[in-house]
Amino acid sequence: MGRERSTAGSVGTGRVPAYPAANRAIDLAIGSIALVAVCPLLVGIRAAMIADGDRGPFLYRARRIGEGGREISILKIRTMQTGATGSALTSKHDARVTRLGRYLRRYKIDELPQLWNVIRGEMALVGPRPEDPGFVDLDDPLHRRVFMARPGITGLAQLEYRDEAALLAGTDSELRYRETILPAKLRLDSAYLDRRSVRTDLTILGRTVISVLGRGSPPNGYRR
């Protein structure tokens, strides 16, 4: 697969999965309520960062490929040291991650600011995960189909690959991700798009909550 391709405008002529108005209404309702509910938590996390001596930026804008193959910026709580550089993939024991950041990643708390992306219409609560431009090849039919759809905070691939960090252990992790893990995740996302519905989305949301609250295994291999 190639590296980053141009993402301006629409891409290809592949089928664009419809996103029903009912799904969008649920996203707005749940997303708005959830964002208000987690605001005190976000304030507490910022205070904990400062108390730990970390006075860097609270939020991190991550470049991702979103709906229509266009680049978007998704919001995440910064969990790495200020100015961290290196691989777009993050291993379980990555030295760039802060002490608090490891906890936030384990329970996916660092993803909560993306509720704002949902409210803005850039993301959905459930959908294919937006991907780093460096791993996207919009000339590939599978990539093009998945990345024509509106991305989500959670989804079928995220649930199935919750222990991605273990698969990325060792050398050549980026090559392994590009050639083995990402194609498998995209096939799951494509299958999800074939049967996307309100009921399916609510089921995935429920599974996500159970997975996060009952998390006992190592956290996912997260992207910066």
Q: Are 127 and 155 in contact (CB under 8 A)?
A: yes
- Mean pLDDT, range 178-199, rounded to an integer: 92
For the record, the structure tokens of 114 come out as 């993306």
Q: What is the pLDDT of residues 148-173, one digit of tens each?
A: 999 999 999 989 887 776 677 777 88
What confidence category does residue 63 fall into, taking pLDDT thresholds of 50, 70 and 90? very high
User: What's residue 172's pLDDT?
Assistant: 84
**Rounded average pLDDT over 86-105:** 83
In this prediction, what percent of the chain has a pLDDT beyond 70?
A: 86
Residue 220 scores a pLDDT above 50: no
> 209 or 217, which is more confident?
209
Contact criterion met (CB below 8 Å) for 76 and 132: no
- pLDDT at position 77: 97
What φ, ψ does residue 74 adopt, rounded to 5°?
Answer: -100, 145
CA distance 205 to 166: 24
Q: Say which DSSP state 177 is in.
A: I
Residue 65 β-bridge partners: 71, 131
**Partners of residue 59 on adjacent β-strands:** 77
Q: What confidence score (pLDDT) does residue 18 get? A: 65
**Residue 135: pLDDT band with limits 50, 70, 90:** very high
- Spatial neighbors of 168 by CB under 8 A, at least 6 apart, are 89, 91, 176, 177, 181, 221
What are the helix and strand counts (H, E) for the chain?
Answer: 9, 4
CA distance 24 to 8: 24
**Residue 214 confidence (pLDDT):** 80
Pairing of strands 71-77, 59-65: antiparallel
Cβ within 8 Å of residue 111, ≥6 positions away: 76, 153
Q: Categorize the per-residue pLDDT at 75 as very low, low, confident or very high, splitting at 50, 70 and 90.
A: very high
Distance, in Å, from the CA atom of 21 to the CA atom of 195, rounded to the nearest integer, reads 16
Looking at residue 114, its amino acid is Q
Query: 126: which strand partners?
Result: 154
Rounded Cα distance, 4 and 37, in Å:
37
The angle subtended at Cα 209 by Cα 73 and Cα 32, nearest 5°, is: 50
Residues 10-41: pLDDT tens digits?
334 455 556 778 889 999 999 999 999 999 99
Residues 49-61 have pLDDT tens digits of: 999 999 999 999 9
